[in-house]
Structure 1
Amino acid sequence: MDPASAIGLIVNIQTLLLSTYNVGQDILNAKDEIRKLAIELSALKASLEPIHLVYNFSSHEKDCKDALSILETSNLSSAESKAMLRLTEDTLTDLSNRLQTGSNQSKKAWQKITWHFEKAEFSSLLERLERAKTWFVLAATTDNVTLAREAYEGIRNIDRMLQSREQRNSELDNIQLQNNVRDWLASRDTEDCYRQSLDRYQPGTCGWFLDGVFQEWICGKDHPGLWLKAKPGFGKTTLIAAAIDQARKLSETSATKIAVIFWFCSFTEQSVHNSQNILTSMIYQLCCLKPSLFVELDRLHPQQKGPLSTLNKNRLSSQDLLKLFVLLVSGVDLVLLVVDALNESENSNELVETFNDISRTCSNVRFLISSTDSAAMDADSSKIRIVTTDTSTNVTDIDLYIQSWLSTQGKRLKIPADIKGEILTNIRRNSNGVTVRTIQDMQNALRRLPRSLEEYYDSALSHILEQDCSLARNMLLWLSHARRALYFEELCEAVALPEGRAFDESMRLLRPNDLLEICTSFVNYDPRSNTITLAHSSVFRFLLRARTIGHSREKFDLGWNSAEYAVARYCLSYMMLPEFAVGYVVKDQFLARRKAWPLLRYIGRTLWEHLHNIDTSGPIQPLLLQFLNSHRLSRGGNFGAWVQACNPGMLENKLMDTTPLYWAAREGYLSLVRILLSSGGKKDLECPSGRFASTPLHVASWAGHTEVVQELLLAGASPKETNSSGLSGLYMTRIMGHRDIEQLLEEAIRKSRFGSG
């Protein structure tokens, strides 16, 4: 054994003992841990003292002889001894790093109130120190080489077990951190949409873009942005998915690692596609591609106690998220940001400006977006290269698709070669640049293939049988106005609901799969997720046009306002069914109820969204008030059943206390707040509701609904009320940064004090 190495360890231990003492002066809740650590360090130091005596021979001659005798033993001169010294040195170095004080003020302050170790890793550290001490004592007091080696191997095995346990704990911690970040950001999963779109990709197609424009752009530096514009039905989403796939493959083979992050907009959830949601999703995707960013994201919030999931996403505005995104991408070589169908977002111009801001700030970020050719959005030509298409752009792609279809389905149907040639010629001539994927009638396709999607959809409607028209109309109504993709069983129940009449079991569909046959040209069913949606955004626009072309459209004309009103009325009528009049129920009964009534899950989450889009002061008001006033019945009546469907995990006492005024205030539904206040709802002004027993004014203040706060204050709501955590509305408003509401509450508090004086 090298005495200098052992003495170096002793010096390190002395320094660590001093650091441990200093740390112990600051942290009040770790006295026991500090004591245990000091004891183990002192014991380890004592086990190394015989070696230290070698360098003190001038004043301790007898001790020196003893020490030299010990060093000459085979145990301390063995390879195991050197390895044990290295192992101990690594442990002490790790401990030293953990006990160091941070360089910045916030980190120093944070370390003064928190212990540096989790319970499991602290126990692991103590075990390592104790094992090292035991080995050095054993090695110095026995001449049995075999015994010493066995002891060393035992300690090494224990160390491997501890390292394995630490690794597992670290992996679990990383998974928990990822889940916390995802929950905090409320990130939406975009991978499924990407996979579904890529499944529709025909190999060999889209070469004009993927092998040309896309390659030039991704490898060039002239324009950070690339904007693909094409007519509806062109196949933009499939092309974008193929571009993402190609970029991912390029990242695997390129020296420059490309982080590909993406978002697919959808016509069914236009309000969701805003810069806040897109940035949160992309931040999460970026962290998944580079897991070290999860730790960086955690480090950015040292002032928060508890996991990131305790934070509220409303604290981060779009600007805050933009700053966070810019900070995180600085550690990545190249980031490719992809957004499909930008025209389906209500905030398209805002998103384009956000992308421009990112590209101006981050030279390593490029963005690819797609939209319809008619989309009117501002674009900086110096930042964005715009690619437009016409009917000749994808002629080769259409040929490949038709030939693929003829080689498979044509062979199965035994279509003659000359007919195949005629099909190819006619479809190529009449497709008008749109990829038509269904040929129901070969002869009709040859004679009068629709020249546009408009004609195609009209033709498809005309083929729906008379007895199926009512069912088809209800199906298209729900799919056009649903706030998310419907599960198949939800749609089956929704289309069977009678308008203005009671619903009973006899009205359920005998053969639910018939729905897929009735509207096969208009819908897309995904068996993996068991969801059903409109096949394309062009179907949505076709159904909502006010004008009527021919007799086929009249039965399916879905004007926006009347359709929104119809869906909202269906939702209320459903919740007023006798099954729900008994109110909220125990957990087992609730699970059975939700299984027996599939649409309950959807309405529980989206009822307020449907009501937001209609005039509730019109003919629907009596039904709406009947539903809301049922909360005074036993167990909340029909309203209580809905609250439970909206919040399945809410405790029974919270369900019992929840009022309609609370929900209207929470959602910022001003017109409904006024209706409730004018119809006897003032008695619920100070009624605590929800998970945190908040008053309507408290929850409206927290959510930032200024007009609702004004209305509640005018009605006499107290600005001083606190929730079950003892937090006032004014305090929460300050935390959330709602300055205008803060001023309203401060003024109301001043007035109440003046009046009481």
Structure 2
Amino acid sequence: MDPLSIAASIIAVLQLSAKVLAYLNDVKDASKERAKCAVEASNLHSLLLNLRFRLEEGIANTPWYTAIRALAVDNGPLDQFKQALETLQTRMTDGGRLKKASEALMWKFKKEEIAGILDRIERLKSLVEIALQMDHFKLSQAIINDTGIVRKTLDDVEHRRLVDWISPTDYPAQQSDIIKRRQEDTGQWFLEAPQVARWLSEAKGTLFCPGIPGAGKTMVAAIAIDHLLKSAQNSSHGVAYVYCNYKAQAEQDSSSILAAILKQLVQGRPSTVESVERLQKQHASRGTRPSPDEIYSALRDNSDGTRARFLTKIRDLQKGQDVCIMATSRFIPEIEDEFREALILEVRANREDVKRFVAGQIYRLPGCIQRSHALQEIVQKHIVEAVDGMFLLARLYTDSLLDKRTAKDVKSTLAKLSKGSAALDDAYKDALQRIEGQLDGDCKLAKKVLSWITFAKRPLTTAEICCALAVEPEDTELDLENMPDIEDLVTVCAGLVVVDPESAIIRLVHYTTQEYFEKISNTWNPSTYLHITTTCLTYLSFTAFQGGSCSNDKVFEERIQQNTFLDYAAKHWGEHARSVETEVSNQAGSLL
């Protein structure tokens, strides 16, 4: 490689890094990751500029110059940094569709993605610093070492590609979101229960943990998973888990669930990947997916209706291997019957846990509560007595105090807290009253948000719901100035909506919230179905899509990536339209 070629490579990277630095400084976000990317990229830009000048002054046949050439080889350090910059540029500007990153919807990177980009920046920065010392031997050795790191990185990428082929579902992200919401020291009663100790000590043990709606079964499961993952870190045991989602029932068939379990076991024990590689090779050329029996076979190799089939496969696996099973569920007779021979431990909101939870929420409550220890005690006492084993009520009752500004209002609200079977519906009615008591704009926004989340055919990401809410009748393109902030969406919904940061999913606080809104939809927001359908049809009619279908898979993937709401609108508008066919027939006809 001649001097001009190496200099040209560095100049190309410098030009790209200058653009990306401008985006990083303008992007609509103030996260630590964004700031760190900007600082590190700026430092490296300065070093590369210095190296460029050294190259222009140097002599091409010197050992130092020979060593420098290795920086610019294909997939070498410079190439790796360029790829990182291109990733940043593409994601911040929606594939180049936006002129300025300040117009971007949000900082669209997960922490692990940023960690990978920062790692590439740091590696090249170290190499350039060595190069500027003019020590060709030290530089050559450093590049050799970096090549080994790159090779390992490529192996890791291949491993990730393989496990993503097994299953796209990311239950670990869901686990991370749930366990982050754990109030410190809650759930210890479960880990210390004799049934749990016996289950952990027995080979092929099964523990069944039923509970009433809102008892805290999901959090108890997350606490148990967290405990098992930590216990199994340095052992030969594998831990895998599944969270069944009321919004994803169609996707959670037995094949998908088994595949997600296999994925986690392979992620935890990379040495067991051979059987999965064989499975992938069998299906890759045909473009097919493995059957439940094939996945079961891979699970067995790696063990060093949907519910019935899944349980049958897991029990078959348990018969041949030392597999322990824990399951949580509502009190549903057919499920209870499936676990009639298992150890039983009912999940109920523990009084001390509820008290800890309420104490941990005091910082969110009005000043009259924060300033009075006596009033805090009254709040804890009343909520603990009212929840009657239902942790969800503790959250809803705590939220009901957010707008109470005097001790009298607080005590009056606490005195009216419902108990028994009607308590949950009463808590939801109270939340709706608070929503309807807001400013008109906030109330309308809350109704749209709650309707979208309730009646969406699958879980929505934060970016998807923001796009959906930005669409207005007669729009021909997405108006980025009409995009709401996700924090505002959560705020106006009176505690009924939460965001899972790891997966970027916005959801209702509990599946009983879904059931409640489905029950009252005709009276509370009767235009929901029409609004959702017309939003999807309007989006699909945007000017950007009038060129017709995509010419190949790559163009199609780029279109999906650059248009956040396209995947949902295209796949599900027809399902929404069934309930309002007459009202949307003209709009649907125009689209088709």
Query: TM (normalized to structure 2)?
Result: 0.63
**Structure 1 residues 593 and 280, CA gap change in structure 2 (3 angstroms):** closer
The equivalent of 1:574 in structure 2 is 539
Contact 1:471-1:496 at 8 Å conserved across structures = no
2:215 aligned residue (224, 230, 234): 234
**Structure 1 residues 358 and 383, CA gap change in structure 2 (3 angstroms):** farther
Name the CA distance, whole Å, in 2 between partners of 1:576 and 1:406.
48
Q: Deviations over 1:591-627 (max 9, x none)?
A: 99989xx8x4333345234424654994244433432
**Structure 1 residues 309 and 450, CA gap change in structure 2 (3 angstroms):** farther
The equivalent of 1:205 in structure 2 is 186
Name the CA distance, whole Å, in 1 between partners of 2:482 and 2:388.
42
| C-alpha displacement of 1:507 | 9.2
1:250 aligned residue (217, 225, 231): 231
Q: Deviations over 1:512-565 (max 9, x none)?
A: 6532321132111245555422222121111001588xxxxx3236xxxx8556
**Structure 1 residues 424 and 578, CA gap change in structure 2 (3 angstroms):** same
Name the CA distance, whole Å, in 1 between partners of 2:280 and 2:547.
46
* Higher RCO (C-alpha under 8 Å, 6+ residues apart): 2
2:359 aligned residue (381, 403, 417): 403
1:360 aligned onto 2:319:
yes
Contact 1:177-1:294 at 8 Å conserved across structures = no
1:514 aligned onto 2:493:
no
Q: Deviations over 1:358-388 (max 9, x none)?
A: 22332x1111121223474364446533333
Contact 2:436-2:443 at 8 Å conserved across structures = yes
1:189 aligned onto 2:158:
no
**Structure 1 residues 404 and 573, CA gap change in structure 2 (3 angstroms):** closer
* Helix, strand or coil at the partner of 1:259: coil
* Helix, strand or coil at the partner of 1:520: coil
Q: Deviations over 1:306-331 (max 9, x none)?
A: xx7546343x21122112211221xx
Contact 2:244-2:252 at 8 Å conserved across structures = yes
Q: Deviations over 1:380-421 (max 9, x none)?
A: 44653333345xx51221122223334886889543232222
| C-alpha displacement of 1:433 | 1.8
Within-5 A mapping of 1:555-566 = 555-556=524-525, 566=531
The equivalent of 2:415 in structure 1 is 447
1:472 aligned onto 2:472:
no
* Helix, strand or coil at the partner of 1:370: strand
Name the CA distance, whole Å, in 1 between partners of 2:169 and 2:519.
31
1:377 aligned onto 2:335:
yes
Aligned residue pairs, count? 431
Name the CA distance, whole Å, in 2 between partners of 1:509 and 1:408.
27
Letter in 1 for 2:313: T
Letter in 2 for 1:458: K
Contact 2:386-2:417 at 8 Å conserved across structures = yes
2:428 aligned residue (448, 457, 463): 457
| C-alpha displacement of 1:460 | 0.7
* Helix, strand or coil at the partner of 1:272: coil
Contact 1:352-1:379 at 8 Å conserved across structures = no
Name the CA distance, whole Å, in 1 between partners of 2:255 and 2:550.
37
1:284 aligned onto 2:263:
yes
| C-alpha displacement of 1:429 | 1.3
Name the CA distance, whole Å, in 2 between partners of 1:230 and 1:538.
13
Contact 1:349-1:377 at 8 Å conserved across structures = no
* Helix, strand or coil at the partner of 2:168: coil
Q: Deviations over 1:167-206 (max 9, x none)?
A: 6687356425413422432332221111111111123222
| C-alpha displacement of 1:431 | 1.4
**Structure 1 residues 407 and 165, CA gap change in structure 2 (3 angstroms):** closer
Within-5 A mapping of 1:683-722 = none
Contact 1:523-1:534 at 8 Å conserved across structures = yes
**Structure 1 residues 522 and 568, CA gap change in structure 2 (3 angstroms):** same
Name the CA distance, whole Å, in 1 between partners of 2:350 and 2:489.
33
Letter in 2 for 1:434: M
Contact 2:447-2:525 at 8 Å conserved across structures = yes
Name the CA distance, whole Å, in 2 between partners of 1:469 and 1:411.
25
Within-5 A mapping of 1:100-111 = none
Mark the runs of 5 or more structure 2 residues left unpaired by the alignment: 1-140, 405-409
**Structure 1 residues 188 and 375, CA gap change in structure 2 (3 angstroms):** farther
Within-5 A mapping of 1:228-627 = 228-252=209-233, 257-299=236-278, 304=282, 309-310=284-285, 312-314=287-289, 316-329=290-303, 332=304, 347-362=306-321, 364-374=322-332, 376-377=334-335, 379-381=337-339, 383-390=341-348, 394-406=350-362, 414-435=370-391, 436-437=394-395, 438=399, 439-440=401-402, 441=404, 442-451=410-419, 452-465=423-436, 467=440, 468-498=442-472, 505=479, 508=482, 513-527=487-501, 530-545=504-519, 554-556=523-525, 566-578=531-543, 580-583=545-548, 600-605=563-568, 607-612=570-575, 615=578, 618-619=581-582, 620-627=584-591
Q: Deviations over 1:8-44 (max 9, x none)?
A: xxxxxxxxxxxxxxxxxxxxxxxxxxxxxxxxxxxxx
Q: Deviations over 1:667-721 (max 9, x none)?
A: xxxxxxxxxxxxxxxxxxxxxxxxxxxxxxxxxxxxxxxxxxxxxxxxxxxxxxx
Name the CA distance, whole Å, in 1 between partners of 2:233 and 2:544.
56
Contact 2:205-2:325 at 8 Å conserved across structures = yes
Contact 1:268-1:484 at 8 Å conserved across structures = yes
| C-alpha displacement of 1:243 | 0.5
| C-alpha displacement of 1:458 | 0.6
| C-alpha displacement of 1:232 | 2.1
**Structure 1 residues 309 and 181, CA gap change in structure 2 (3 angstroms):** farther
| C-alpha displacement of 1:511 | 6.6
Contact 2:495-2:509 at 8 Å conserved across structures = yes
The equivalent of 1:132 in structure 2 is none
Contact 2:206-2:324 at 8 Å conserved across structures = yes
Q: Deviations over 1:273-305 (max 9, x none)?
A: 121111112112111211111134325677x5x
Query: TM (normalized to structure 1)?
Result: 0.50
| C-alpha displacement of 1:586 | 11
Cα root mean square deviation, aligned: 4.1
Letter in 2 for 1:447: A
* Helix, strand or coil at the partner of 1:260: coil
Mark the runs of 5 or more structure 1 residues left unpaired by the alignment: 1-159, 333-345, 549-553, 629-757
Name the CA distance, whole Å, in 1 between partners of 2:147 and 2:275.
20
**Structure 1 residues 545 and 281, CA gap change in structure 2 (3 angstroms):** same
The structure having more radius of gyration, on CA atoms, is 1
* Helix, strand or coil at the partner of 1:491: helix
Name the CA distance, whole Å, in 2 between partners of 1:567 and 1:479.
11
Q: Deviations over 1:623-667 (max 9, x none)?
A: 334322xxxxxxxxxxxxxxxxxxxxxxxxxxxxxxxxxxxxxxx
* Helix, strand or coil at the partner of 2:449: helix
Letter in 1 for 2:524: K
1:217 aligned onto 2:220:
no
Q: Deviations over 1:73-122 (max 9, x none)?
A: xxxxxxxxxxxxxxxxxxxxxxxxxxxxxxxxxxxxxxxxxxxxxxxxxx
| C-alpha displacement of 1:574 | 2.2
Name the CA distance, whole Å, in 2 between partners of 1:579 and 1:251.
50
Contact 2:167-2:263 at 8 Å conserved across structures = no
Letter in 2 for 1:216: R
Name the CA distance, whole Å, in 2 between partners of 1:593 and 1:169.
30
Letter in 2 for 1:601: T
Letter in 1 for 2:276: L
Letter in 2 for 1:460: A
Name the CA distance, whole Å, in 2 between partners of 1:510 and 1:252.
42
| C-alpha displacement of 1:263 | 1.6
* Helix, strand or coil at the partner of 1:188: coil
**Structure 1 residues 410 and 376, CA gap change in structure 2 (3 angstroms):** farther
